Structure 1
Amino acid sequence: MPMRRREALGIAGRGTLAGLGAAVLGGAGSRAFAAASSRTHFPALVIGSGFGGAVAALRLGRAGVDTLVVERGREWPVAPRKHVFGSMNGVTDTMFWFRGSTRWPALPPTPVRPGPGIMEVSEENGLDIACGAGVGGGSLVYTGVTVAPPRRYFERLYPPGLRYEEFARTWFPKVRRMLGASPMPRDVYRSLPFTHSRLWDEHLARTGFRTFPLESTFDWDVVRRELAHTAPLSATVGESDFGCGNGAKKSLTRGYLPAALATGHVQLRALHEVRSIGRRRDGRFSVEVRRLTTGGAVLGTAEFTCDMLFVAAGTLNTNRLLVAARDRGDLPDLPASLGTGFGDNGDQLTLRSQTLRFHGGSQGSPCASGAFFPDEFDLPLLAESWVLPGYHAVPALITFSVTVDGDNRGTFRYDPRTRRVALADWSAGKSEAAARSARELSSRVIAANPGTLPVTVTTRPFTGHPLGGCAIGRTTDLEGRVHGVEGLYVLDGSLVPGNAGGVNPSLTIAALAERAMAGIVTRAG
């Protein structure tokens, strides 16, 4: 009998999803476990366990469809009493996906041992693209902001068949409930590690701008335990970009994924990196993976087959897999529009000095508030109170902004010489309009706050929100079915047409996936 949701979440909270999988399938060494672990064909296979893949896994499992989820990264345990992840305050080899040195805003290059770390940073032409690598995908490394786009930008981005009223009434609330999103409580906001958040709000208020609380998926009870020094410090000292090992973040391993495994119809295999996809003569999809150790050694390769293939590897890797499959001839019927319309969501990080007012020995990472500017600058933008870990004592405040940029787009192309897919036509200039808007906001705040030095620092072009390449309504139908290839679906940030409409995209990605899966399950494909 399928495990109940309460039991599933209890096991996930105490330990690992691997433990939950063993509880559902039977212990290692059992006949059921051996049969399950040796299985290579599934009715449905999901590539990736992030916001799209986790939704697909849960809805397929609850529909009774035997499903395999393959994830290239590790499963990271919740460890309430010890540190699991590295951070800008303490670099470790587990932070980056197969890099020989660190590459991150404001983090000096530091040698690290290449391996299956939690964050991939791809140095594309004119842009660094960051994406999560682990069970839970981007939910491990994002900063929890869970916000819906304004109606007018949603309607500008998506085809008329995606109605904003439907998302506002059904899909956004459904995802918020599953993720457990809520604003920062007042007692946390008033605590010492969030002095910088209050000061950020004061600066904007003095400029005449209104800020408002942003919903977040941080676990405020864990944050309170950090404040009481009964849990290892993580969220309250600015950790988030490379994970919060003490459970301070409600990642997908706390909700969607354990609920999927508890159906008894879903298996999840970590450290299985998909290298190629294609279609066999019998019509089944073929998915070739390499199996990795936690240290990065290759254990071997394997092939899985399926009837329905859900590609949810994240924007960067979904485009890599599908563009290569089309141009190598493995899936030659994929549409020509595939790989086009990529955007960086207008991501910008700015630093400005502040009056020499002590704002805490550490800065907490959960984002407390934001301010939206639809008409004040070159481009509309949402500014958010942010933190730059490792620089707590510097008298400066950080703003992260996501900008409504409908013009600047790039294309993923396959190079037959290198056999690699890369962002071919992006340049630093395509980020300039967003950067200009962010700098103008900073300049106005500086002018309104006496004693603040007239200096704004921005980072090199960088995005943690890559979007597009498989735009919904263009490369796919409105439920993620890829045109021209029956049984193939895309359910991740590549559906979003290059920009999320002035918001962090996680809520939109999961909501698009929820709506898509409702239709796919209802119509059995």
Structure 2
Amino acid sequence: MRGGDTSGGPVPDPYRRDVLGLAAKGALAGIAGAVLGPPGSRARAAAASRTHFRALVIGSGFGGSVAALRLGRAGVDTLVVERGREWPVLPARPVFGSSTRVTSTMFWFRRTTRWPGMLPVPVTPAPGVMELSEERNLDIACGAAVGGGSVVYTGVTIAPPRSCFERLYPRGLPYDEFAGRWFPAVRAMLRASPMPEDVYGSAPFAHSRLWDRQLANARMTTRPADSTFDWQVVRRELAHTLPPSATIGESDFGCGNGAKRDLTRTYLPAALATGHVQLRALHEVRSVGRRRDGTYSVVVRRLSEDGAALGTTEYTCEMLFLAAGTLNTNRLLVAAREEGRLPDLPATIGTGFGDNGDQGNLRSQPLEPIGPAQGSPCASTAFFPTGFGLPLRVENWLLSGYAGLPATATFAVTADTDHRGTFRYDPATRRVVLADWTREKSAAAARAVLAFSTRVIEANPGSLPVTVNNLHPFTGHPVGGCVIGSSTDLEGRVKGCKGLYVVDGSLLPGSVGGANPSLTIAALAERALAGIVAAGG
């Protein structure tokens, strides 16, 4: 059954006082304009021409947005560079594509779509909202937008269980500290909350209620999942006063009507409002290194909204924060070490990568009414520390693009301590690739979710005794490569490289520990920045 929420509700955040008002004033471009000055003004021109900053943050996802806010609040002159576009909220018309309405805005410079459940079709290469990298034996997905992965994730905001956290993370990161301070602080900033009962009881969430009922029949207890969806916007969809997005399962590539409360409505406007932070979108970092004067060099390729290259710019800074996401932080740092631009980087950089045990699973339920649509916000979750080979978390998911089929979907992650991969530099192509991932490294998680699904089917007569997992290994939660306590200290400082920090998912030890990564990434970044600001570096 769907039990009570034990994750803890949002608590007041002392840094949050102006976030709601700022986010309500308009798009980030408007806030940035207020900080930089009006278009055409001398102040704006001078600000836009600057290339040296005290601190530079690469990426505007969960780690980068936290870093930007905390640096800005500390009065540190900071630039955030983001490769992706800033996407507007346009309630009257679609902004993003979906599995049933393919557009060039969906993928980061791909010629053919590639996504679970989506047929491959040609698309025009463009700076779309999702990068899908076909690494050896593993597809890796990551966001490419102002707001990073928060634009394309499905809002689930949950913490890893204590048992998994304490087994995976260094002892110097006490779980009680995270549970008592950092997790609540992030939840408050993100305004995470469980799905309200009226939304849960609506037609688009019949699949959620069926999922909960089937697990209850198998004597499994589900709990509401904290989410960052804006329930007022979802209610407007249900009332037909907004075009549908979340209620028809269109969220993998963004919700253009504002149904998803991403970082452009929380951390980022608060960071820009400090007056100490600039944000430059469509700035794709091509390399990082260190100059003879000791400052860090960041070379970016400037892009137009249609993907045309507008030239390159070199920025310099004293403090460099890598928050480009696990895939791209590893690409940048491994290449910098092997090409001699950061030769002192630890040999451990690029190691300890994991796919977080990501698995999708489908069960066919031909006798159960599902309805014509499946809403995308996740209503419920359950965690099983034992019984399936690995500690397993399952979440109520949806069939994107196939909502009318009589079936329910489950998204699952595991707490796997064993299966890891390595990013290596290929001198022939001058590319960094995931070199040693095998299908067997994803197999233990697949077996765990299949065993779970089999048990649910056995408890629900009329279910077809067939389950389907991903056709090829896939992760939307890549983590590791710059593991905290190994490649960095416990506050993200890269060992042996003063002024260089990692604050994104690559800090995580190859597995979140039975949870989605967003809350843990942001909590680690909050803790890291508190220590860095207090110590002055």
Q: For the superposition of Structure 1 and Structure 2, which TM-score range results when normalised by the shorter chain?
A: over 0.9
Deviation at 1:347, TM superposition (A): 0.3
Deviation at 1:249, TM superposition (A): 0.6
Match of 1:431 in 2: 442
Change (3 A) 1:13 1:88: farther
Partners of 1:252 and 1:225 lie apart in 2 by 21
Match of 2:196 in 1: 185
Selected match of 1:241 from 252, 274, 294: 252
Match of 2:401 in 1: 390
Task: Please say if residues 14 and 78 of structure 1, whose CA atoms lie closer than 8 Å, have aligned partners that are also in contact.
Answer: no
Q: CA offsets, 1:63-121, max 9 Å, x none?
A: 00110000000000111222100011211010000000100001000110011000000
Partners of 1:5 and 1:161 lie apart in 2 by 28
Match of 2:8 in 1: none
User: Does 1:504 find its partner at 2:516?
Assistant: yes
**Correspondences of 1:34-433 after superposition (within 5 Å):** 34-433=45-444
Paired amino acid for 1:494 = S
Partners of 1:480 and 1:174 lie apart in 2 by 19
Identity of aligned residues (%): 72
TM-score by length of 1: 0.98
TM-score by length of 2: 0.96
List runs of 5+ in structure 2 lacking aligned partners: 1-14
Task: Please say if residues 52 and 492 of structure 1, whose CA atoms lie closer than 8 Å, have aligned partners that are also in contact.
Answer: yes
Deviation at 1:514, TM superposition (A): 0.1
Partners of 1:73 and 1:387 lie apart in 2 by 27
User: Does 1:462 find its partner at 2:439?
Assistant: no
Partners of 2:256 and 2:45 lie apart in 1 by 31
Task: Please say if residues 334 and 483 of structure 1, whose CA atoms lie closer than 8 Å, have aligned partners that are also in contact.
Answer: yes
Deviation at 1:492, TM superposition (A): 0.2
SS at 1:370's partner residue? Answer: strand
SS at 1:69's partner residue? Answer: strand
Task: Please say if residues 285 and 306 of structure 1, whose CA atoms lie closer than 8 Å, have aligned partners that are also in contact.
Answer: yes
List runs of 5+ in structure 1 lacking aligned partners: none
Task: Please say if residues 284 and 305 of structure 1, whose CA atoms lie closer than 8 Å, have aligned partners that are also in contact.
Answer: yes
Aligned CA-pair RMSD: 1.1
Partners of 2:399 and 2:390 lie apart in 1 by 24
Deviation at 1:11, TM superposition (A): 4.9
Task: Please say if residues 5 and 262 of structure 1, whose CA atoms lie closer than 8 Å, have aligned partners that are also in contact.
Answer: no
SS at 1:267's partner residue? Answer: strand
Partners of 1:207 and 1:7 lie apart in 2 by 46
Paired amino acid for 1:466 = P
- Aligned structure 1 segments of 4 or more residues deviating by more than 2 angstroms: 4-15
Paired amino acid for 1:324 = A
Partners of 1:15 and 1:458 lie apart in 2 by 41
SS at 2:395's partner residue? Answer: strand
Paired amino acid for 1:83 = P
Partners of 1:11 and 1:64 lie apart in 2 by 19
Paired amino acid for 1:221 = Q
User: Does 1:522 find its partner at 2:534?
Assistant: yes
